[in-house]
Structure 1
Amino acid sequence: MGISKISVEEIIEAVGGKDNISATTHCVTRLRFALKDEKKVDKTKLDEIDLVKGFFSSNGQFQVVIGPGLVDKVYDILIEITGNQSATKQEVKDIASKNINLLQRLVKTLSEVFIPILPAIVAAGLLMGINNLLAGKGIFFANQALIDVHPELRDISDIINLIANTSFTFLSALIGWSAVKKFGGNPLLGIVLGLMLVHPSLLNAYNYGDAVTKGTVPYWNLFGLKVAKVGYQGQVLPVLVSSYFLAKIEIGLNKRIPDSIKLLLVSPIALLVTGFVSFIIIGPITFSLGNEITYGLVYIFSHFPVIGAVIYGGFYSVLVITGMHQMFLAVDMQLIASTGGTFLWPILVLCNIAQGSAALAMMFITKNEKIKGLAFTSAISAYLGITEPAIFGVNLRFKFPFFSAMIGSALGAVVITVNHVKAPSIGVGGLPGFLSIFPQQWGIFFIGMIIAIVAPFILTFIFSNFSNIKIPTFKNKKS
């Protein structure tokens, strides 16, 4: 597809003109605008531009979906036309953050902490899935694992398992690095903080419950104050809050200590103060809070599984629209650490698949070639775990496909939830997601996947016959 300067000029005009653009950057698929006034965006005109595959507003940024490869060229032309200097993602985020409320800022912060470490988590999930194939009983042989029948594969499985578990074993170090960096501190100190919270000399958090029951929890005696000598393996909140505290301490010290002695004083003081505060105050409080959140979710899904499944399965895609879905990465990790598996992530997989199926149905319903092509490519993307093109480019545009996907994912979620399907790790949130499910639960999970594929597809066709929304059939202009 050729890119004309006129098409890029049309995009600029549709977002309110170059005077309405405070800053612009781009990611792999989208232009990201920090606009002075989003009300000036002409969405109808933007929708008719061939280059544009979709658009949406999130966390104060107006984002226009262009597609991989093309977005780089469009961005270069856009900068040339507007005369603006290239902005970094962080600069655009900083400008856009002025236009969002407190809750949106919290979600944005969590997103910016967890997104950078997501590749390590997803890679770990996929590797654990491969290990499940090797070590899971009943997959290839009745009551036996592949490594039982072929013991020469046992050590290979063991190495894969070691590599896969590393990200979860040292999760606090990953979070510490990303969080301290986000809060403006030295990310290397964040790594040290994270490792400190899971130091081998501390009681492993996974053994804390048994130690409490047996009365064998070790304590430090700090001038009469008893402080539990407990690690925070797999915990999210302790390292998040401690990272914020560490970053602020470091920033404060850097402002007050002369440059000549910063190297000698800033890092040692920051780590020392943060370490004591973390073990005495932050750790115990956030550890209890994280457990309460976990127990609350477990209680709801254990006692009211259908209600929980319908709410989370039906409305997860709504959370994607607001960006609040990023908060649940932390919840998933907390559930995995506390209970050995998350029941939320398998539902997420079905939600992504459902949006893909609804978009795929639109490929057969619409006669517009642009939407037909977008529907197909965005469906494939959703089946592989990336739903934004399907949601914003197709389903929300016509509304009924989006609602069809919500219903389909809720139905699938009920099936897997009442059968207690869990994932011991986070993987690819699409069709390959079954690899991260406990192997003995694959059968029922596949049933849930089939429902999430078939139901939205059929419902989209049914609702299209009753919808008052006109499916556009205009011919697109040549670019």
Structure 2
Amino acid sequence: MNTLLDQVAFFRLFFIGIECFSTVAGGDAEAIMFFGFIPVVGYQASVIPAFISGFIGAKLEQKVRKFVPDTLDLIVTPFLVLSVMSILALFVIGPVFRSVEGGIVAAILALLEWPLGIGGALIGFFHQIIVVTGVHHVFNALEVGLLADTGVNVFNPIISAAMAAQGGAALAVGLKTKSKKLKALSVSSFISVLLGITEPAIFGVNLRYVKPFVLGLIGGAIGGLLAALFGLQATGIGITLIPGMLLYLDGQLFLYILVMLISIASGFILTWLFGYSDKMLNK
């Protein structure tokens, strides 16, 4: 394991494996407790603990390798690093940062309760910032919880609007630039957004020039506000934008499409007017 990604992948699998130690099928089973106060629970929906464990593990590996002879490095270094980090991840990092994730989810749930669509606007603005950090997968648990408790998912239309606005911003860059390379990248990124994938638009275009990303966030806030005001409620999870239309076939499809179009238009118009010019290519 020579990279941070290797470490993250290992600890992601490690936390999933912890699920084997807890009984979840009954719904009312108590978690196994180490030392009487450390719960052994499933980390399959967690992202931050795996990332933190991977980061610390990568740093520890670099330190250990300095003291281990080359002839023993292949065997000794992985054994020491994984032994130390498995214990640390299970007893310290996992419980602590799982609580942090729980706090994030609780904050989002609280925002969803705010009146006049304010919560939707805030979530629509900040969601894509969270995507940049890579920890947005923690919201999978939130969406599952919403479906289990209420039968609907009010989070999905808001984040769909946030994604659509980033796509609109990328499209504006693509149509405004004279650079053939940037135009091709921007337009293809917009198509990816329509299929529910924003990373190419964010990292390939919008963040590169900063302003399109920020104006896309504003467009996401507008779309999130409308999604909350219209009371859009998805019937499932996991898909957004065009594929996400399948979650709104219960009479909400027109409003869903309308919100997505307004979100795209908001990101597009703001970026076209204020967010990009080819002068940025020389910076």
Q: Which amino acid aligns with 2:28?
A: D
Q: How does 1:118-137 map to 2 (within 5 A)?
A: none
Change (3 A) 1:246 1:356: closer
- Where does residue 447 of structure 1 map in the other structure? 255
Q: TM-score, normalised by structure 2?
A: 0.66
- Where does residue 132 of structure 2 map in the other structure? 326
CA distance in 2 between partners of 1:376 and 1:261 (Å): 50
Which of 193, 197, 205 in structure 1 is aligned with 2:15? 197
Contact 1:208 1:230 in 2 (8 A): no
Q: Which amino acid aligns with 2:12?
A: G
Which of 58, 71, 78 in structure 2 is aligned with 1:260? 71
Query: Which 5+ residue runs of structure 1 have no aligned equivalent?
Result: 1-176, 473-479
RMSD, matched Cα:
4.8
Q: How does 1:354-369 map to 2 (within 5 A)?
A: 354=165
Q: Is the aligned partner of 1:281 residue 2:281?
A: no
Q: Which amino acid aligns with 2:164?
A: I
Query: Which 5+ residue runs of structure 2 have no aligned equivalent?
Result: 146-152, 278-283
Q: Which amino acid aligns with 1:201?
A: C
CA distance in 2 between partners of 1:220 and 1:244 (Å): 25
CA distance in 2 between partners of 1:236 and 1:403 (Å): 23
CA distance in 2 between partners of 1:242 and 1:293 (Å): 19
1:294 deviates by: 0.7
CA distance in 2 between partners of 1:410 and 1:449 (Å): 13
Q: Which amino acid aligns with 2:132?
A: Q
1:457 deviates by: 4.6
Which of 247, 267, 282 in structure 1 is aligned with 2:58? 247
Deviations 1:4-44 (A, max 9, x none): xxxxxxxxxxxxxxxxxxxxxxxxxxxxxxxxxxxxxxxxx
1:360 deviates by: 7.2
| Greater strand proportion | 1
Contact 1:233 1:337 in 2 (8 A): no
CA distance in 2 between partners of 1:303 and 1:353 (Å): 23
- Where does residue 43 of structure 1 map in the other structure? none
Relative contact order: is structure 1 or structure 2 higher (C-alpha 8 Å, sep ≥ 6)?
A: 2
| Greater helix proportion | 2
Q: TM-score, normalised by structure 1?
A: 0.42
Change (3 A) 1:239 1:293: same
Contact 1:408 1:456 in 2 (8 A): no
Change (3 A) 1:414 1:274: same
Q: Which amino acid aligns with 1:413?
A: A
Contact 2:8 2:55 in 1 (8 A): no
Identity in percent: 20
CA distance in 1 between partners of 2:28 and 2:84 (Å): 30
1:203 deviates by: 0.9
Change (3 A) 1:310 1:359: same
1:305 deviates by: 6.8
Deviations 1:32-81 (A, max 9, x none): xxxxxxxxxxxxxxxxxxxxxxxxxxxxxxxxxxxxxxxxxxxxxxxxxx
1:291 deviates by: 0.9
CA distance in 1 between partners of 2:267 and 2:14 (Å): 52
Change (3 A) 1:450 1:359: farther
Task: Compare CA radii of gyration and give the structure with the larger one.
Answer: 1
- Where does residue 3 of structure 2 map in the other structure? 181
Contact 1:220 1:227 in 2 (8 A): yes
1:282 deviates by: 1.4
